[in-house]
Structures are given as C-alpha cells and as structure tokens.
Amino acid sequence: MTGRQDATGRRDARGASRRPGVRLVTRREGGREWPVLVWRPGPGWRAISSALLGGGLRGCAWWLDAQVGMEYFHPDPAEHARDIARGLGLVPDAGAAMLTAADVRRWTGATDAGVEVAATVGLGLPVWAAAPADATAAETAPRLGTINLLVVVPAPLSDAALVNAVGTATEAKTQALTEAGIQGTGTSSDAVCVASPDPDPAGTEPEPYGGPRSTWGARIARAVHTAVGAGTADWLAGDRST
C-alpha cells in the first residue's frame, strides 16, 4: 500500500469548513484506490478512543479513518489497520485507526473556538442504544454503516474530562440524528476519538471537566452537532446504503 495526498477543500452541507486539520489520502489495495482520512499531529498528544486499533487512553501521534468494502472481511482487522498505517508512513501502534464502509471522501468537518471535528457518516442501519434483546437479530442485515468521529481539543484535558468529552460528543451526535428524523441513537459500530495535548507537568492543571456546559465540552458539543448534522444531511440526500 502507498499513500498519495489528495487535494480537498469542499464545504459541507451547512457551509462549515471541511478542513479541521485532517487530510484525505489514498491507499492502493486489491487493485484499486481506497480513501483514508488522516490526522497526524505527531508526538505530544494523547487520546481516549474506541478505535479498533489504538483504543483506550494512550498517546496518539496520529488518527486515521480508512474506507473498506461493504462486504468487508478480514481475519484480523486490527492487523489490517496496522498495515494501512504502515503504508501511509505511520508508526503502527502510535495512533488510533478506524475502519468504515461509508464513503470517506464525503467526510464533514466543523470547528468551534479551537475544537476541531471530523466525521464520516454511514446510516444504513441506525439503532436505538437500548433495545429488547430479541430485536437485535435484525441488525445482522448487510446494510450496517458507521459514524466515526475525531474530536481535537487544543487544551490539555484530565483523564476524567476526556471520559466526560466522549459522553458529550455522543450526546451531540444523537441530538443531530434526532433533529434529522433518524430513528436511532447511532449505529451499532460507531467509534469516537477525543484527542488533546499532553498535560505540561510544569504548567497549569489540565481542564477537569468535559461535560456539555463546561468551556471545552460546550465547544465539543457544537462542533460534533454541526459535523454529524451535515454528514447526516449529505447521506440522506444521497440515499446511500452504508
């Protein structure tokens, strides 16, 4: 696989800039080009993430969201993500990688007072988080789809604030879906990554809160709401299946 930078600069459905510090690149695999969103700030950052590779609370020198086929199957998706990272010149276990069948080229972005968000939205099968156990059998349908989120906060956040920020981002995502008339709180495979600079041992204490009424949490909520709202509108207008 090789990475090739691709010029971007389109604007999302609400007119917000599509450039929150990420780049759209491509990789070659299986005889075709596949798009990948990449954010590579380098050392000095950490993230809390549910990504299949690099999840948890750890250092985060890069993030990627790689498009795969709708009939995706790999015996080891995490190792596949490592291969994608290597092909793009990234140290495999120094960042967070997500996979999606959604069209990564149609990513949407938003910023709010320093917070930057990138989203890829696929809504083939939205689900309610709390559902009867026997209702989940229908979710084996092929039209799954995923909403993947990158949230970049320029101020150091405490461990608790990072956890709080994940909840805030999820609430804002669900608000955007509800306002668009989507019957679900998300999809069963949604992933999120919230990144902030490493705390400075000699500097001020990291931000202690990330809830929707905290300084940075409010900015996270607005940016996620805008990016997911734009991505949802774009998906609905295109009537795509992922």
User: Residue 20 pLDDT more than 80?
Assistant: no
Greater pLDDT, 137 or 40: 40
Q: Retrieve residue 184's tokens.
A: 């679900």
Across 140-164, average pLDDT: 88
Interatomic CA distance for residues 37 and 120, integer angstroms? 9
pLDDT in tens, 88-120: 999 999 999 999 999 999 999 999 999 999 999
Output the furthest CA–CA distance in the chain (Å, rounded): 54
pLDDT band at 11 (very low <50, low <70, confident <90, very high): very low
pLDDT in tens, 226-238: 999 999 999 999 8
**Cα of 44 vs its chain's centroid, Å:** 20
pLDDT band at 18 (very low <50, low <70, confident <90, very high): very low
Domains and CATH numbers, the chain: 4-238 (3.60.70)
Across 48-56, average pLDDT: 97
DSSP assigned state of 36: E
Query: Which range (27-36, 38-47, 52-61, 104-113) has the least confidence?
Result: 27-36
User: Residue 55 pLDDT more than 50?
Assistant: yes
Share of the chain above pLDDT 70, in %: 87
Interatomic CA distance for residues 71 and 97, integer angstroms? 19
The set of residues, in sequence order, having a beta carbon less than 8 Å from that of 80 and lying 6+ positions away, is 74, 99
pLDDT in tens, 59-71: 999 999 999 987 7
Q: Cα 54–58–63 angle (5° rounding)?
A: 45
